[in-house]
Amino acid sequence: MSLKMTLTAFLSWVSTSLSMLILIVPVLVVALHPLRRLPGSFWSKICPLPLIIQCRKARRSAWILEQHEKHGVFVRIAPDHVSIADPQALNQIYGHKTGFLKEPVLFNTRDMSIHQRKRKYVSPAFSARNLQDFEEHMNPSITRLVQYMQKCVTESKSFDFCRWSNFLAFDVIGEYSFGSPFGFLESGRDDYNLIHTIDTRGEVLNAMGHLPRWMRPYMKYVRIDPFFYKGLRSTASLEAIGRAAFGKRKEDTSTARKDLMSFLLNAKDPDTGDRLPDKEILAEAISFIVGGSDTTSSTMTNFMDFVSRDQKLQADIYTELLEAFPGSQDSDWVASEEVSGKLRLLNATLKEVMRLRPTSSTGLERVVPEGGRVVAGTFIPAGFLVSVPTVAIHHNTQIYRNPEKLDPQRWLVEDASDLTNYFVPFSTGPRACVGRNFAWMEMLKTLATIFRLFQFERTISVPSESREGFFVKVIECNVRVGLRASK
């Protein structure tokens, strides 16, 4: 046999062997994996690419819900990540002293002791007394929103409530975090490009959190798909905006108001007695800007989206509001939280909107602690990721009858308290949203005010389109607005 024939045969053998390896290795990875008994798509079992692609498409939780509908309660959405759509898993994973830790990704604190220390700094800012004191400072922003709506009535024009609820939420957060609003409502513009910045940042970090750690630092150089490059630039822009607002507030020593900055600037490390470094304060402030604006604005937009399409429900809410706030109202009137918080139908509708369309819809990742854990009757080895998608629990047919239907009455029957155990729009356990009472107050005051004064009608009949970064957000909510007659 000639040398040429021998070399050709050898190369053919190498090529065949490599092809076999390429085929066999993924099969062996799936067959020998500790989670091999749990269902999921083949590609999800060998790499995180399917999950990353869905994050890139801004539809992660929708895809995960589809995977559960196809594969059942337990689904491997990545090689080392199990999504569990079982109500039992909520307290088993997210409850107090369970031992499950956050996955150390780009934008959170994993160590529970550090998290608890930070929570002690900011928890007093959200006490009932402090929120009560702040309520009057929230009113001017709501009044500016009302004034804009009155202008729309006069000019007979529709407007995008999604955009203006964002303006409201950012101005209120600016007022509470830094002592002054960002000025969105007054100008009617987002001069900081803050809304787009936060949306882009959320989508990119959501996707990057599932990339291998060694790959993340290099994504800013990827120009084939500008998604990552532009998103990481947005992260830097948000930090610059937060730093400017923080610097302005820090220099203002004349204010005696107890805003978020006052608590952080006066906080001391329990171990050293030193004040918090500016970098840590800035990180907390930025976190609150993102979390405190997106969730409230998105939920109010969802409320508007549903109620403006249902005139019967809107009329019933108006009847309740009219009884609670009778007569004509002054031009700067804003509903009080004390009264709004007791309105049964308004509160039930808001809860139902948050159940049906939770803004934090995806599962929050946790690492199974040493020794492994039995979750919802199934053993999961240590070191793997688990999560419980909020949207799957909120749409569980064993908990909620006709879960796809908006039905506020489900919260007004005698056994409604049984549903509360599985109502987790703010998460649950020690890492539940610290600002939930703040958000609830802002939403109730705003919705009570505008639905008492105005009537709304959605300008489209087709379902609303949404995108998901950290939170699921409807991308537009254009409505026609009319003034309610004084009675």
Known binding residues for heme are 433
* Cβ–Cβ < 8 Å for 479, 158: yes
> First CA to last CA across the chain, in angstroms?
104
* 176, β-bridge pairs: none
3-class secondary structure, 473 = strand
For the record, the structure tokens of 320 come out as 């309740």
3-class secondary structure, 410 = helix
Please state the three-class secondary structure of 144-183 as a single string.
Answer: HHHHHHHHHHHCCCCEEHHHHHHHHHHHHHHHHHHCCCCC
**Burial track 276-313 (b if 16+ CB lie within 10 A, e otherwise):** beeeebbbbbbbbbbbbbbbbbbbbbbbbbbbbbeeeb
Structure letter (DSSP) for residue 389 = B
Report the alpha-carbon distance of residue 76 to residue 64 in Å, rounded.
10
Determine the distance from the C-alpha atom of residue 93 to the mean position of all C-alpha atoms in its chain, rounded to a whole number.
19
**CA atoms within 13 Å, Cβ hemisphere of 50:** 19
Q: In what order do the strands lie in the sheet with 385-387?
A: 74-78, 81-84, 385-387, 366-367, 101-102
Report the alpha-carbon distance of residue 203 to residue 250 in Å, rounded.
31
* 375, β-bridge pairs: 378
Report the alpha-carbon distance of residue 81 to residue 34 in Å, rounded.
12
Residue among 444, 441, 439 at smallest CA distance from 425 = 439
Q: Which residues are annotated as a binding site?
A: 433
Report the alpha-carbon distance of residue 363 to residue 242 in Å, rounded.
28
For the record, the structure tokens of 317 come out as 């809410």
Residue among 264, 283, 296 at smallest CA distance from 171 = 296
Residue 458: Cβ within 10 Å count: 20
Q: List the beta strands (DSSP E) in 257-310.
A: none
